[in-house]
Structure formats: structure tokens, C-alpha cells
Amino acid sequence: MASTKAKKQKLSKKHEAQAAPKVPQALAPETGAALFEDARSRLEAVFGALNIHPDAQARLMQPSLSLQVSVPIRMDDGSLKAFPAWRIQYDTSLGPAKGGVRFHPNVNQHEVTTLSFWMAVKCAVVGLPYGGGKGGVQVDAKALSSLERERLARGYIRAIADVMGPDRDIPAPDVNTDAQVMGWMIDEYEHIVRAQAPAAITGKPLALGGSPGRVEATGRGALKVLDLWAEREERTPEETTIAVQGFGKAAYHFARLASQRGYKVVAVSDTSGAIYSADGLNIDSAKKDKNKHGKLADSKLGKTLSGDKLLSLDVDILVLAALENQIHSENVDNVKAGVILEIANGPLTSSADEALSKRDIPVLPDVLANTGGVIVSYFEWLQNRSGEKWLEEEVNKRLDSLLDQEASRVLTRAEKDKVTYRQAAYRQGIERIAEAIMARGNCQNCR
């Protein structure tokens, strides 16, 4: 009896200790707010330059739906934790909302809103019949066990199921989520709707209707955009050096495919630091080392550098493939690269973007350079809806030809309008969204 009491006391003590769990450190609210203000100022600049109808302007200044939820999950130690999470649909004039779900401790409402806005712009830039959406859970996913991650993925879908679906809002992978997470999510969704609904989520495992080529698609698309730019500049891969910030899915496949193509990838980094070799790195060996040690900095393949040092390397192309706000007013003057290629979403603050443009350093922007992922998500959705299965060569061919057409249009427009590539991409995207908004009629309340 006494021992049961003692046990109970111990248990309730344990629960007391857990009553105030350490809340993951979110971005300071003003940091997140600044991100969205930045995005809106880019939007206003486009309104100023083009003849966008005031009705469309009004619609585009804020998201059309913001859902904040709490996702409670049972941890492996028996305790319960509730994670704040969001799904945001920025605009759905062109089609269902489309965009990934990230698991990250810094996720907050402003960040997810900004990311959903960028999704709306990028889908329109490459002419997909989609609006923009994004989701996020504020969690340190690396600290979760696999079963905890599965419960979190399923709990998230239960919380947002009412606003998603193949014709409403279609989640996909993003930072710290992958095909396996999408597999758990689609299974949960199909249990809720009691039907097969593979087109409700993209980036799924192949066995559940995922598309061949989806995992590599973001890196492949970024390389295609770089190739199109290099061709215009009459520059060959062999004479071009590249440093890559990041070594996640998009960064790794980009670096691998770029070195196969003949570019000299001299540096890559992860959160532990960077490795550098002037003669070019063997990307497959770097990946093996990363898998073995967990950290790139422990690899002996090249000289070890700090992550900051990588950003200031004297290379032809600096590829930013980690997170947002990596180059800002404090470190932009250290950049020595000739060109920036953005694979991450929003890796430059708008002040850094302006500073680079003053120094005539071209930026191939996120809303064009990282569209490969969502383009192949679109191909996955098409296959799921028609019941077709395409071969990887077919997927890659379609990705290349779509980017040939749409990315070339952006590069040409930048020359013609004498604006940066980012401004040209925003003009192409916002024009298309505004046209759809206006085509839907402008009598919002006449029903």
C-alpha cells in the first residue's frame, strides 16, 4: 500500500515537472512579422510597377484562410505534449492551395503565412493551376522518436482535415518532413474520409502513388534554372565553381546532379559546418560521411570551414539551400560570389537583396529556382487523378520542358523590363493571380 502511495507520489511529481514543458523557442514575433512585411513590400512594388486592379491588390494583401491548431500527442514516456501548428491558404484563385508542411522549432504564424504567400507566387510563376498554401508544426522533430513523429503527422492531419483535400488544399513535404511523413499523413486522411484519396497529398512514397523523380525534383529544377541562365551567359559548367549552403534533400540532389553535369562543387555545409575543396568535392562520398558521422564537419574529404565562411567564399555561384534569412544586412557585404541561386525559400532578407542588386550580383530567386518540387508534385497529383503511372524519364522530361518555357520567359522579361530576376518572376506570378482574381468577378458581396 505504502509503496503504491510512494509510486503515485513519484508519478505525480513527474507530472508536476512536466506541467511546464519547455516551450520550443519560437522566432521572436517581430522577426516573423518582419518576414511577412518584407514579402508584402515586394508585393506592393509589383502593384506599383504593373497595372494591377485595386480589387486584386486588396485580396492579395492578406491570406484567405489561417488555421491555428494544437496537436496533442502521447510521447513515448507516457506524457502528453501539445504542439502549436498552422495551415494557411494564402490565395486560391488559380486552383487549390498547394504547399508543404514543415516541422521546425522556429515555425510561427508569420513564417507560415509568408511561406504560403511565396507558394502562391511560385505556382503562378510556372503556370501551375494552384494557389498557395503552407503548413507548419512548432517542434524539434529531430528530438522525436519515429513513433512520436508518426503520431504528430497523424494528429496534424486530424486537426486540418476539414480544410484540405485534392480540390481544396494539398500538403507536401518541406523542412524536416519527407515521403514517410506523407505516407502517415495520407493514411490518416484516407481513414477520415473513408476513401482512397491519393491526390490529397503529394511527395508520398512510391508505393502509395508517389511520383518517380519527386525526391530529386527541387534540386533538378534548380539545376535546370542555373543551366538556362548559364547558357545565356555563354558560361560552361566546367568553368563554374559552386558553394552550397545546406545538405538536406534539395541541396544534396542539386550538388550531386550539378557535379555530374560538370560544375565544380567546391563546398557544402550542414549545421555542424562546411567542407571545402578547391578541386571540387565528391558529393556521394560527402553524403556517405554525413550518414556515417551525422555531421559534415567530421568528414575528412576537404578542409573544414565554418558555415559563415562558406557564405563569403569567392565562388561563381553561391547556392542557398538551408532556411530563410541567411544573408541579411549584417553579412551581405561579405558575399564575394558572382551569382546567388536560392533553393531555400526566402534565404535573403529584402535589404540584402537590395544590397546585392546595387552591387550587380544577380539572384536567381526562390520563386523560380525552387519550383521543381512543386512542379513534380503537380505531376504526382495528375497521375493520382488519372490513375496513370509515368516513368521517371517522362517526369524529368516534362519538368525540363515546363521550366524551359516558364523560366526562360522570366529571364527574358528581366532583360526586357530591365529589372532583377526576382522582380521579373514576381511580375509574371502576380499578373497571373490578379487575372484569375478579376476573372472570378469583382462583385464580392452581391449574392
Catalytic residues, which ones?
134
218 marked as part of a ligand binding site: yes
CA distance 253 to 273: 19
249 marked as part of a ligand binding site: no
Alpha helices (H) in 299-370, listed in sequence order: 307-311, 350-358, 366-369
Cell of 314: 569567392
Asked if 371 and 403 touch (Cβ cutoff 8 Å), the reply is yes
**Grid cell 529544377 in the structure block, residue:** 221
Cell of 217: 525534383
Alpha helices (H) in 294-365, listed in sequence order: 307-311, 350-358
Count interface residues toward ligand GLU (CB under 6 A): 12
Q: Which of 100, 213, 248, 429 binds ligand GLU (CB under 6 A)?
A: 100
Nearest residue relative to ligand GLU (C-beta): 100
Q: Which of 323, 374, 407, 419 binds ligand GLU (CB under 6 A)?
A: 374
**Residues 164-183: x/- map of binding to ligand GLU (CB under 6 A)?**
--------x-x---------
Is residue 345 near ligand GLU by the rule CB under 6 A? Answer: yes
Q: Which of 89, 93, 202, 349 binds ligand GLU (CB under 6 A)?
A: 202
**Residues 268-307: x/- map of binding to ligand GLU (CB under 6 A)?**
----------------------------------------
Cell of 122: 511560385
We find the least distance from the C-beta atom of residue 300 to ligand GLU, in angstroms, to be 33
Q: Are strands 273-276 and 264-270 parallel, antiparallel or unpaired?
A: antiparallel
CA distance 154 to 166: 18
We find the least distance from the C-beta atom of residue 375 to ligand GLU, in angstroms, to be 8
Q: Which residues pair with 101 in a beta bridge?
A: 135, 173
**Given the complex with ligand GLU, which of 203 and 429 has the nearer CB atom?**
203
Part in contact with ligand GLU (CB under 6 A); list of ranges 57-65, 184-192, 373-381, 438-446 = 373-381
CB atoms within 10 A of CB 65: 16
How many angstroms separate the Cα of 376 from the Cα of each of 180, 394, 398, 408?
17, 11, 9, 18
Part in contact with ligand GLU (CB under 6 A); list of ranges 188-196, 321-329, 368-376, 439-447 = 368-376
Q: Which of 377, 383, 396, 423 binds ligand GLU (CB under 6 A)?
A: 377
Is residue 98 near ligand GLU by the rule CB under 6 A? Answer: yes
**Given the complex with ligand GLU, which of 345 and 383 has the nearer CB atom?**
345
98 marked as part of a ligand binding site: yes
Task: Tell me how many helices (H) and strands (E) the chain has.
Answer: 15, 12
Q: Which residues pair with 304 in a beta bridge?
A: 275
CB atoms within 10 A of CB 102: 24
Known binding-site positions for substrate: 98, 122, 377
Which residues sit at the interface with ligand GLU, rule CB under 6 A?
A: 98-100, 172, 174, 202-203, 345, 370, 373-374, 377
